[in-house]
Structure 1
Amino acid sequence: MSTSTLLHGGAVIDGTGSPPQLNSSVLIEGEKIIAVGAEADALAQSHKDVQKIDVSGLTVMPGLIDAHTHVTLGEPASNDELFHRREPATAALIAAHNVKKILQAGVTSILDVDGIFNIGPALRDAINAGITEGPSMKSGTFALMTAVGGTAGRMIPDHGTAGYAEVVHNRDEMVRVVRRQIKDGADIIKIHVTGVIPARSGEIQVWTRDELKTVCDTAHDLGVPVTAHCRGDQATLDAVLAGVDIIWHASFLGERALEAIIDKKTAVGPVFTFLANLAEYGAKVGATASVQSTFAGELEHTGARLRQAYDAGVPLLCGSESGFSITPYGNWHAREMEVFVQHMGLTPLQAISCATYTNAHALQQFGQVGIIAAGAQADILVLDGHPEKDVAVLGNKTSFRHLFKKGRAITLAEVPERSLLRGERVEPWSAQLLKWDLIHQK
């Protein structure tokens, strides 16, 4: 069996933002890229049993990294489904099925930011052990929340866990839970700094800066990064100053938070895909006009601010929020790059760099993955198209020709659709009220 593979004659996009290297080669040995360009061709001549793959006319680039997934949630269409219609055993089995879809979308690594029933670390380990096939994975566990809640309002309990949430009440409990999550296998800690309560519009800040610092200090002492869901200027400012490593969303930034992000070079993952899908395509799946308008406004405001941060050298991460009915697995992992180009004015190569080279920050593997270079992990996507001109081609799986994860060729094939489990989805009695006038009006 060949131990080395030479991809020769392709246009190589290395992930750093540099222009494609035309008529170039990449030599893979084991799990690593050992040479690129003329050196790859020369080394291949001296190696025995080299499998040569002609990729002339094709693009060779790093496998995509999705820095914000929810692979255990199972594509709920509502919080009711997420919080009340999931069981641990079946949720784990469904997650093992769904990670295959993500890999088939050209995604070779993911950061699963939070999930249900602490399935994420176990799924990561199962992938590493070859029990199921999927992208390389870093995982969080439950998202930390105060008793005020998160994005599910009153569905967040006053104590314990529910859905993707774990509620903490005081500093001693914050320290204990962070340490326990790390013991349970968490690669990251996630905090919901803002949340929704029925009496208020939008999201409000539900953590103090001192509380955030307690979580950050505890996690950092154990070598684990902290990420935070933040919507609002003050919430983002407090999270950055408390030492959070990655800010998710960063919606409605003001000058103070923007200055802090730039000063500390705190990585930001805006996770625009969910917003863009609702704003632009929501009508196709029954979203209301008011919901579409709300998310469109957030997209434009935040995009302009984050372009300033990007120009100042802030790492900008690409994440799809895959795991909901608006962002089903295997479908929208390249969408964030399109949004970066359309709404932030990045070039396609800059957007590709965010989804590969820069996204390695989220995995704590910067320079090791997300790049075509000697010594990097051999996560490689080969496709028929020119993503340096139009990143939308990366969302079209029919353009893919070869995929390698850790140097191993992945068979490209559609993952069969499954049937829904009984009770998995909400089954309403009606789509509207059955009023007398509805039946008898002339």
Structure 2
Amino acid sequence: MSDEPAGAPTPFAAAQAGAVVLYRGATVIDGTGAPARPGTTVVVDGERIVRVAADAEVDPAGYDGAELVDLAGAFVIPGLIDSHQHLATPPNRPVAEAVLRRDLFGGVTTARDMADDLRQVGDLARASRVGEIAAPDLYYAALMAGPSFFDDPRTWQVSQGAVPGRNPWMQAVDEGTDLPLAVAMARGTSAVAVKIYADLPAGLVAAITAEAHRQGLLVWAHAAVFPARPGEVVAAGADSVSHASLLVHETAGSGPLVRYKTKPPVDEERFAGGDDPQIEALFATMRERGTILDATASMWRRIAAGSGDDEDARSRALANDTVSAALTAQAHRAGVEICTGTDSDPDLTQAWPPLHDELVFLHERCAMTPLQVIRSATLVGARSMGAEDERGTVAEGRLADLVVLDADPTADLAAALRSIRTVVKRGHPHHRSAFEGRNRAGARAAKAGESA
């Protein structure tokens, strides 16, 4: 017998190899953009999909001891991917775990954390991966920005106990920085990417990108880095660029780009039509280079709704909302790949993840079909983190990350997203009813405490 401690319990661990489940009779939407496949069986062994075939081609008797799950009338899509989250600015472990739990039971099986206090994010990623907590798998970035950015109070929030700009997960970079060392430090956090954020010229953006790629890291960047314009960020080789609303600064018609905090005003009328020729040229380059747009298209609508009595803030947010929708639609028409990120504050009064709002926004405001939206939220999301060989589609060899819906997402996307029956992550089923039951019990307990 071993005297080693058992460690924390892992009730949400991936299914073990040899545990075979046949999800039978579903209409499968595989995430590639292909038409739905009715009457389909998905065979899962442990945490992997081992077969996807028509029901008539799969004999359950050939899988001795397998569990059979009847999904007649249901729809199966790949696990959803939120490509833009912030889980630890500032660090708050209970809130982060609650957000992640809400996301998982809302269909989100994977998320990109776009730079935070990686000491906590790394531990959340570990806890999710081994099954200590109910949460999506996490991929994350270490941030680099110009020294002038580090007067931002958020940099202090994520650097408690360390010096902002001088730690591996959030580094100030200038022309004198030893970039091979800086990137190696970022890589040492277990990040899969460097996020290029703000206050960096084009030449330095290109140098960081080249070194990150040399060391095997992806590069996720703001669409405009200030003073680097979107076209310069794309030309530098960034793998994805975030925030459609920042793309307007490709034109910089209203003033020079100096700092992230001193953005020129947005000419809403110029871009609202979604036909600006300079933006169209940028999108052509993005399409040719395979640069993914992390549009965060619905973000400004939430900001407007939360503006309260600040009419100026609300007006600015609504202007950005109009521009964001127009430019995301223009990008889609131009053939740019779009992933689905939210960049949303963790509003735990909401029972469903904000990613649902992003998907519906892309459909209703950006003229993407439900199949195209699902592809963006699955396959393209996986590509944005270099994980398309592991996840993002319902296909043999991929991780068994699945969402079972009771309604047809191609008929009514918003309603279907609220009809989740079960979320399967790495072969482990998570039933929506368990989440709703826990939430109701928590609400009753809270109400009883208030009246005591």
Which of 193, 198, 201 aligns to 1:188? It is 193
1:236 aligned residue: 230
Write the distance in 1 (CA, Å) between the matches of 2:140 and 2:364. 30
Sort the Cα spacing of 1:214 and 1:43 in 2 relative to 1 into closer, same or farther, 3 A.
Answer: farther
Residue in structure 2 matched with residue 120 of structure 1 by the alignment = 121
Q: Letter of the aligned partner of 2:186 in structure 1?
A: Q
Report the Cα distance in structure 1 between the residues aligned to 2:282 and 2:351, rounded to whole angstroms.
32
Judged with a 3 Å threshold, the aligned counterparts in structure 2 of structure 1 residues 348 and 155 are, in CA distance, closer, same or farther, namely: closer
Instruction: Report the Cα distance in structure 2 between the residues aligned to 1:312 and 1:299, rounded to whole angstroms.
Output: 20
CA separation of 1:231 and 1:217: change in aligned 2, threshold 3 A: closer
Query: What's the secondary structure of 1:272's corresponding residue?
Result: coil
Q: How does 1:240-251 map to 2 (within 5 A)?
A: 240-250=234-244, 251=246
TM-score (norm 1): 0.78
Q: Distance in 2 between matches of 1:40 and 1:146?
A: 60
**Equivalent position amino acid for 1:53 in 2:** V
SS of the residue corresponding to residue 339 of structure 2 reads coil
Percent of residue pairs identical: 24
The CA deviation at 1:39 is 6.3
Instruction: Give the 5 Å matches for 1:68-79.
Output: 68-73=84-89
**Which residues of structure 1 form unaligned runs of 5+?**
74-81, 194-205, 419-442
What amino acid does structure 2 have at the position aligned with 1:179?
A
- Within a 5 Å distance, the mapping from 1:219-234 to structure 2 comes to 219-231=212-224
| Alignment match of 2:294 (pick from 264, 269, 274) | 269
**Aligned to 1:172, which of 174, 177, 199?**
177
The DSSP-based 3-state class of the residue aligned with 2:355 is: coil
Q: Paired residue for 1:348?
A: 370
Q: 1:133: how far off?
A: 2.6
User: How much has 1:173 moved relative to structure 2?
Assistant: 4.4
> Counterparts of 1:347 and 1:238 in 2: how far apart (Å)?
31
Equivalent positions of 1:31-430 (< 5 A) are 31-38=47-54, 41-73=57-89, 82=90, 91-116=92-117, 118-141=119-142, 143-149=143-149, 153=152, 160=165, 165-193=170-198, 206-231=199-224, 235-250=229-244, 251=246, 252=248, 253-254=250-251, 255=278, 256-279=281-304, 281-282=305-306, 286=308, 288-325=310-347, 330-396=352-418, 399-412=419-432, 413-414=434-435
Equivalent residues of 1:273, 1:321 under 8 A apart = no
Structure 2 gap ranges (5+):
1-15, 157-162, 252-277, 444-452
Separation (CA, whole Å) in 2 of partners of 1:176 and 1:330 = 41
140 and 180 in structure 1: CA distance in 2 versus 1, 3 angstrom threshold? same
Q: 1:259 to 1:5 in 2, by over 3 A?
A: same
Per-residue CA distance 1:283-315 (angstroms, 9 max, x = gap): 6xx263322322222233243333333333321
After superposition, the C-alpha distances for 1:326-378 in whole angstroms (9 at most, x for unaligned) are 99795312211111112211111111110012111122121431211222211
**Matched length:** 384
User: Which amino acid counterpart does residue 306 of structure 2 have in structure 1?
Assistant: G
- RMSD of aligned alpha carbons: 3.0
Preserved contact between residue 171 and residue 214 of structure 1 (Cα < 8 Å): no
Q: Tell me if the contact between 2:25 and 2:55 (Cα under 8 Å) persists in the aligned partners.
A: no
Structure 2: distance between partners of 1:133 and 1:177? 33
